Amino acid sequence: MTVTKANTTPRIMACPTCKKSIEWSDKYPERPFCSKRCQQIDFGDWAEERNVIAGADVTSGEGTDDFDEWD
Ligand SMILES: [Zn+2]
The correct CATH number of 11-49 out of 3.10.20.30, 3.40.50.2000, 3.30.50.10, 3.40.50.1820 is 3.30.50.10
Looking at residue 10, its pLDDT comes to 77
Least confident segment among 8-17, 29-38, 39-48? 39-48
3-state helix, strand, coil in the chain (%, to 5): 50, 10, 40
Please give the model's pTM, rounded to 2 decimal places: 0.51
Query: What's the 16 CA to ligand 1 centre distance in angstroms?
Result: 7
Please compute the mean of the pLDDT values over residues 1-20 and round it to a whole number.
81
* CA–CA distance, 62 with 39 (Å, rounded to integer): 37
| 54 CA → ligand 1 middle, Å | 28
> What does the domain layout of the chain look like in residue ranges?
11-49
pLDDT of amino acid 53: 62
- pLDDT at residue 20 greater than cutoff 60: yes
Q: Helix, strand or coil for residue 6?
A: coil
